[in-house]
Amino acid sequence: MSFRPLLPAESAATDVVQAWVSLLAACEQSTATQLQVKAGLYGPANFVQAPCQQRGTWSAGQPVGLDSTPDPRAFLAAFGPEVGTWARLVPVQGPGSKFLAAVAPMGDTWQVMGVAVGNQ
């Protein structure tokens, strides 16, 4: 017997990350936190601060697998080797930087659980 998680639609991951990064770009960190699994995210904090500091348009792309980051160790350590079966990474592009937002399925939607550097 094998276990296969039933995940929300991947397009919903893009929508959640777009809403989250738009709130960050408006410097509304406390409201953006409502779209997160918890207040403190896994990964480098400077990625979360960038949208407020670098004014301009930020966009979220299509979800990709955990193998799209060269360093998944924070997620593997926190959630174990099965994290790749359910977590997704959503590319985020801003005026001066880019990163990946890691999302986790929470019921019938996704929530941001961390950030990571993407493959260049």
CATH class of 10-116: alpha beta
Tell me the domain boundaries of the chain: 10-116
Read off the pTM. Answer: 0.91
What pLDDT is recorded for position 12? 97
Q: What is the 3-state secondary structure (H, E, C) of the chain?
A: CCCCCCCCCHHHHHHHHHHHHHHHHCCCHHHHHHHECCCCCECCHHHHHHHHHCCCCCEECCCECHHHCCCCHHHHHHHCCCHHHHCEEEEEECCCCEEEEEEEEECCEEEEEEEECCCC
Per-residue pLDDT of the chain (120 residues; tens, 9 = 90+): 666 668 999 999 999 999 999 999 999 999 999 999 999 999 998 999 999 999 899 999 999 999 888 888 899 999 999 999 999 999 999 998 999 999 999 999 999 999 998 764
